[in-house]
Amino acid sequence: MPSHGEERYILEGHEGELQRLADQHDVLTYASDNKLVFAPVDFSQPGLRILDSGCADGLWLRRLQASLGAQHEYIGTDINPKFFPKQAQPGITLQVQSITQDWPEDWTSTFDYVHQRSTLIGAGKVSTVEECIERLVKLVKPGGWIEFFESDLNQVRPNGPVMDQLMDVTKTLFDMLGVGYGYTARIRPALEKAGLIDIQEVTIDAVYGAGCDDPEIVGKGMTSMTSAGNAIYKAAKGESDSLKEFTEELHEELAARGGRLPCKVVWARKP
């Protein structure tokens, strides 16, 4: 996500960020009952054009490609090309693109399905959530679908004190970035304003650490949330003596009782 109006990923210098994103992907997929897509896209039709905005190294695209039998065109975009793998995956194209900038003109109304996860916060002070959504909607062809998957800090879960502290720090950071922590409530109205139909939304609870019934996901949840917590705390408060203590306490709490992070998924169709 961009920082303070700059076109850069705020955690780009965070050690192990790609591994954190991969672990987070598995946690969120598990919480979604292994769904990669919520919108009722008919993937049995070959030749669909699919976009993943904010794709990092293209993991979601690779997983989707592996799960589908039909041949489709997969395109991923991200602001940080350092995430892109050196060896291209056959059938997948990755290129640099910011959600705060206009998309290629020849992409207008060409995608059957547009997907974006944990990226809208990147609007920052450069653009607005509504403007970013409007740009993405223009890419969808008539009859196509668009889907957003975002952490929903408007909702509260019965977490432990350290996880609650992390949520407060995250809200502070999101406000600092210019979007505001309540931005997920603006997704559906933006889609309605853009004229989309069949709008649906669900809330899922991603469980990090204890409380999840899959030991592998427990471990991934602990490492990904601890890593994210460290980076978010540092970004919001800077280097401090309390950073190491906070990270250790967060890890201990996740191991003992776990933590829950609600996420909102919203999808809609262009008429």
pLDDT for residue 124: 85
Full-model pTM: 0.93
From first to last of its 271 residues, the chain has per-residue pLDDT tens of 333 334 554 454 445 889 999 999 999 999 999 999 999 999 999 999 999 999 999 999 999 999 998 899 999 999 999 999 998 899 999 999 999 999 999 999 999 999 999 999 999 888 999 999 999 999 999 999 999 999 999 999 999 999 999 999 999 999 999 999 999 999 999 999 999 999 999 999 999 999 999 999 999 999 999 999 999 999 998 877 899 999 999 999 999 999 999 999 999 999 9
Q: What distance in Å separates the CA atoms of residue 74 and residue 53, rounded to the nearest whole number?
A: 11
H helix intervals, 71-200: 129-137, 161-177, 187-193
Q: What distance in Å separates the CA atoms of residue 206 and residue 208, rounded to the nearest whole number?
A: 6
CATH top-level class for 17-153+179-206+263-269? Answer: alpha beta
Backbone angles phi, psi at 7, to 5 degrees: -85, 75
pLDDT for residue 8: 52
Give Cβ neighbours of residue 88 (< 8 Å, ≥ 6 apart).
94
